[in-house]
Amino acid sequence: MEKVAAYPGTFDPFTNGHLEIIERASKLFDKVVVLVAKREEKNTLFTFNERFEIVKDCVLHIPNVSVEKLDVLLVKYLREHKIRFIVRGARNVSDFEYEIQMFEMNLKMYSEIETVLLFPKENNRALSSTLVKEIINNGGDVSMFIPEKALLKLREKLERKE
């Protein structure tokens, strides 16, 4: 039976840390489905469709990875698509504590689910979309933190705002 994992996230913006987790997960599973979450309650830099397209562009080089939109509860999507594995990245203790809570809640709603935590390598450990947005909002250079394709979309977005 094919082992399929989902990697859900907002990906706003998509970072090198996200890409690292996806690339590493693609070596552990037969297929990885990256789920770009709608998350209307968040004040996102990119729209839902923009984030979806950026992630798709950034993972084209990984043959066993696909990208889908997630606009329902994660466990509902996973159950409907018969996906039993969730991949998550954990950079620090607070991420770990949050992921334990999510694991427990997801398990109560879908008892067959397994969560696999991947720890980022040192160069991505402090990286977060929130910090990248803070750097962007203060006029800093984020080119070392996000993939080239995502950087191009970011520059286009910022030019339109001016």
Per the annotation, the verdict on 128 as an active-site residue is no
Per the annotation, the verdict on 79 as an active-site residue is no
Number of helices and strands in the chain (H, E) = 6, 5
C-alpha–C-alpha distance, residues 24 and 65, integer Å: 11
Out of 42, 76, 82, 108, the active site residue is 42
Q: What is the CA radius of gyration of the chain?
A: 16
Residue 154: CB atoms within 10 A of its CB come to 20
Copy the structure tokens of residue 162.
């001016």
Q: Is-contact 154 13, C-beta < 8 A?
A: yes
Out of 24, 79, 91, 125, the active site residue is 91
Per the annotation, the verdict on 129 as an active-site residue is yes
H/E element holding 157?
Answer: helix 148-161
Out of 26, 88, 129, 149, the active site residue is 129
Per the annotation, the verdict on 26 as an active-site residue is no
Residues noted as catalytic:
18, 42, 91, 129
